[in-house]
Amino acid sequence: PSALAQSSSKVVVAHRGASGYLPEHTLPAKAMAYAMGADYVEQDVVMTKDDQLIVIHDITLERTTDVAEKFPGRSRADGQFYAIDFTLAEILSLNLTEGFSMENGQKQSNYPHRFPVGKSIFKIHTLAQEIEFVQGLNQSTGRDVGIYPEIKSPGFHLAEGKDLGRAVLTVLKQYGYTKKSDKVFVQTFEFDELKRMHDELMPALGIDLKLVALLEGGEGNEWMVSADGMKEIAQYADGVGPEKSMIVDRSSKPGDHKISDLVKLAHANGMQVHPYTFRLDPGQ
């Protein structure tokens, strides 16, 4: 990462921290990413039952914690344990681990070569705690590493009576992130929320931050990567975050790269491109 970080045209975003080496979205993973030279560290943000903001990738808890053992019977009808059904105090009591799935009653790591499941001790933390962690490291090292929060499933939160986007932007303002030149990108997959942040939420708070439209392939999203779609996104976003196969097709071979127009269209509309996710796991 440090070599790339020296180029002003490239930024290295630590996806869930140094998540190939330590359990994702833990403060140790963020510390390692910082030490490895990342320009930005990423935060996926979800809201709790008592309106607190926590850093975790899923809106559910069972993939990366011991919630099923600690709070049996607290799942919804689909068998999943939703963060929004738990208070911050309850969530802080959980132990966090590398992502796993259950097979024959046993926890099996989703990525066998990563940090072992259930070893050592890791915890969930709040967005405020992580911001203070990064800002603290900036003070102690003299570097200026940025943050990269994602508004996670904002439509789900709104349907549950929680305005996640407004809450995240409010915390960012409290910690001094108020203008586009500040070291922060705010990202989301939901275009309606992107527009709402641009048109309503940020003006109401008196801030103007860089926004990123996250993109994933599949049916229903084709319009976003068309010439007209990119032009529309650029009215609201400063950048796009596409899944990397939307730029270079997965069927590409050495010397035979199938490259889309996505980067060209984004740049033509004045947007940065921050693709995800580059990792060593087999098949990824």
Inter-CA distances, 81 with 72, 103, 149, Å: 9, 18, 23
Token reading at 236: 């609201």
d(Cα 192, Cα 214) in Å, to the nearest integer?
12
Catalytic residue among 15, 125, 157, 274: 15
d(Cα 260, Cα 202) in Å, to the nearest integer?
33
23 phi/psi in degrees, rounded to 5 = -50, 135
Pairing of strands 106-109, 53-55: unpaired
* Residue 125 bears catalytic tag: no
Query: Tokens 């997965």 label which residue?
Result: 250
DSSP annotation string for 217-271: -STT-GGGGSHHHHHHHTTT-SEEEEBGGGTB-TT-BTTB--B-SHHHHHHHTT-
d(Cα 85, Cα 234) in Å, to the nearest integer?
36
3-state helix vs strand vs coil in the chain, percent to 5 = 35, 20, 50
243 and 215 Cβ atoms separated by less than 8 Å: yes
22 and 97 Cβ atoms separated by less than 8 Å: no
230 and 269 Cβ atoms separated by less than 8 Å: yes
* Residue 57 bears catalytic tag: yes
Catalytic residue among 25, 57, 157, 198: 57
241 and 215 Cβ atoms separated by less than 8 Å: yes
List the catalytic residues: 15, 57
